[in-house]
Amino acid sequence: MVKAVEEYIISLLGVVDRPLPSVWHLQKEFFILTKINPKTQKLFNFAKHYEGAYSEILQESYIEPSHYDTAFSTNIKDEIILNKQGQNTFAKIKQEQSVKPGFSELLNSLKFIREIYDKLSRDELLFLMYITYPEFIEYSNAYDKLVKNEQKRKTLCNNMLKKGLITLDRYGELLLATH
């Protein structure tokens, strides 16, 4: 199971040629994957946490990988990068898995997730998580600051609209959203 999680991390990092912005993005982007591909929920087992959805196995696999310990690392900006060995491993994973049904869809989903969510700041990411998945608010230590604060909510919505990450309709929904 840990090997599979590490292969998912390598695949997420490999689908686009740039670092993953942060460990926050790692957690939240895989959470989004479980919503697109519910079969993956059993593997990652996301639970309520003080900053939204959190997967312990994902965190442990990232911090102390046991199968691909030199595949990825963190750079000086705290971005997660795929090292040379990780690039080779990703190529091997693609080659081996390409015959399996659903694998190309998985890679497309990962790429789609990265293209959108990589552009979000930590606060924007958490804000969207809380609004979209209110069941993960329960233990939050950031919900009040991000969602209940009207000015902060407006700033976050404006930023996401300027980045082209939300539509005008979604902008209106998010501005009015409270749980």
Segment 23-67, tens digit of pLDDT: 989 999 999 999 988 888 889 999 888 888 999 999 999 999 999
Does residue 54 sit in the same domain as residue 127? no
Picking from 118, 140, 157, the residue at the C-terminal end of a domain is: 118
Does residue 4 sit in the same domain as residue 15? yes
Model confidence pLDDT, tens digit, residues 105-157 = 999 999 999 999 999 999 999 999 999 898 888 888 888 889 888 999 999 99
Structure tokens given for 140: 């939050």
The residue among 179 and 69 whose pLDDT is bigger is: 69
So what's the pLDDT on residue 118? 96
Does residue 141 sit in the same domain as residue 110? no
So what's the pLDDT on residue 100? 87
CA 176, CA 174: separation in Å to the nearest integer?
Answer: 5
Model confidence pLDDT, tens digit, residues 13-23 = 999 999 999 99
So what's the pLDDT on residue 178? 63
Residue-range definition of the domain harbouring residue 86: 1-118
So what's the pLDDT on residue 179? 54
So what's the pLDDT on residue 138? 84
Does residue 150 sit in the same domain as residue 172? yes
For residues 114 and 29, the answer to whether their CB atoms sit within 8 Å is: yes
So what's the pLDDT on residue 163? 94
Picking from 118, 143, 161, the residue at the C-terminal end of a domain is: 118
Say if residue 161's pLDDT is above 90: yes
> For the stretch 157-169, what's the b/e string if a residue is b when 16 or more beta carbons lie within 10 angstroms of its beta carbon?
bebbbeeebbeee
Domain count for the chain = 2
Picking from 100, 118, 136, the residue at the C-terminal end of a domain is: 118
Q: How far is CA 170 from the centre of its chain?
A: 20
Does residue 83 sit in the same domain as residue 137? no
Model confidence pLDDT, tens digit, residues 5-14 = 999 999 999 9
CA 43, CA 110: separation in Å to the nearest integer?
Answer: 16
Does residue 7 sit in the same domain as residue 94? yes
Does residue 91 sit in the same domain as residue 16? yes
Q: What is the sign, positive or negative, of the torsion defined by CA atoms of 164, 168, 172, 174? A: negative
Does residue 106 sit in the same domain as residue 157? no
